[in-house]
Structure 1
């Protein structure tokens, strides 16, 4: 028997509906509505929950219902663990599936697997139970955003006609619910729901960044696997590899994440959902609600890691001297109250910076290594980090992002670290290209000799930036730190990094600091020295 289910307000979340119905299996809500499967229901007194693949035929449902508000409201999240154990469990039509959910993905078969979270509001229709025609939305793991329409691009089926809009992220959204009706909006939408009316057409999100398909009806390459940033026809609105919640990708769904656990009326639900591990195809989660089960918010924050940082702005070039500068990454600070650390005079939030590098244009940087720890002393504003340690002597051309030949490709991710030293999953990456100006192998010049020295910064006094130069006679580990007048660390410019013998220069940005006297200190092997500098605004 074929059952037809109609949801009036959203397209992808049922098998057949009055829009497109991008669901090859009965959706979680349909299973509940038809009484084919009734979910486990959390009362928030039990914290730990484990669910297997939702198509399992055991006596216990492998879906989890998380009530929002009191029972009279009849609003909830549905959590389904979709590991594709059933051949017919197909939820991804876009991405490399290319409009065919049964496409053989080969070594990409893991695309589309993961934890799917749906937000349903049956209570908007009187009568209780699970009625037809309700609002329902998927909470996508790749975030809720405001978007801009920047320009148009050509889709794979019409490669010479640039007529479909390209939507680009302008800001993450934390305190609003994706309202879910097809109202064609660029505000508070995920990639499956962002849309815009242009003329007589209503357009959805067709493109993602990466390498454009080489031929008509071809398949492009996601930016993860290429250094090229073109617009390929990913059909994101039909579902892609980034929708599901996965260990290592996004694991915290809370009042402080994007998307967040606000209810349909944009009110704080107090619900925290933490995917803490996978055991084979079994998902292990912790689910909390503020004020229930003996948990207050501070205790829940202490028990869970920070949410995924939302890094999306293009890399800027800082301290341009007319030709080159240093990469600067900017992001919105995490909102969790336990991200705030108390300094002697000011508060700050801590992040770890990871960097991946490739010197081959055909190979995308994928091997991230720890690069630095950054403390942001403007915790209620955006954070920004300047990379003063450019790999291999590369330079970053101002406004050009690099030039041809000997290119070095940089990618950055950040990890949020709360005051308990719990770490978030890494952010998505941002990237920039540099141009190598020295060979990979050192060129030895026997006529050049070096000594341990730390030069006076220049200019001094300065506003807002200055250069600090030091010299090493031998290969050694180096740490260079800036302190304020009462001995508080305000910047770590070099963090125990291995440097070859030679002369070095690093930039220090004091734009977010007050005028006054500061000290900078170097430790290099057994050598250490401190000098004073003045920030004068």
Structure 2
């Protein structure tokens, strides 16, 4: 069925200065410009999975996690999701799944759990607040105790995307390895059914992404076009017959009655019959593939890209989070060293609440100072990192002490020799 469309093209102008902002590894704490996935927690914290580790951003301070300063087992972060309790689920390219909750890390992989494969492509949180994972060997759910693998309808399933619609049906973008045919599978309770994409004029190996718009409408992004599914009826959009700037649809999200669409060469917003299209180099959009989209509680659109960092955009102007107190929102924190126990090197990270002089010193078990790692002026809200080499010290317990003004924190460290 043909649809009448109104097209609004954004033209670069000075007004974009307030509507677009870009974060890169060069101008922020983002660990890499290669960003695979992003998510925003209920309290407004942005999390970014990159090709070189994990990063979080609270609107002021960036915090980074990699294989050196944290228990993160693999820096290649391919998928992220946050549950309603603020737990961060981290999918990796080669090491399975990590769970981060209140600073505590848990690692799941195919050798210590029923995770079917260590390559994770997507994560979604279900209505019961449990995570579902799209892996190289199908879809699996973990309820905190039991891993449940979804019985495949094909010989060799390769799952790439998972998402729930507003009625509680799980949509699974999958393809069959022997013939590379793309499927959309659906799961509701114990009922499993599917759609073959090639029968819908979508010649694509598999869906890349899905997102609900309302109770009756789901959008599906593929390598060969966009689909709008209303009560089971599919309408297909291609670059050739719609305002889409590209047939490669890698990212979808919704805000209100508007669908946000990230493509291989541009960004779109579709509201009813009205398309708004932003092409590369217009406004603040880089010429790059949009890999993911997340919306924060202020309505800001966060766009992850394949090589250009993260762009935040909001029509009418980006809205920053309000703080209930004056001054820097940061905490005085001395993080636990990693690794711990260690032999002979370890890394210590920390932030200070107020700018000014600070010291980081190491003491042995009877209180003797054995090292001064830092004695300098620090800036509030910046995450600092110092390496400690204890190769010249005897094995045993040591204390790291961070002092800034009237505040002091200690951490126990164990040197194994």
- Asked whether the two chains share a fold, i.e. TM above 0.5, the reply is no
TM-score, normalised via structure 2 length: 0.23
Higher relative contact order (CA 8 A, sep 6+): 2
Q: Which has the larger radius of gyration?
A: 1
- After TM superposition, the score normalised by the length of structure 1 is 0.19
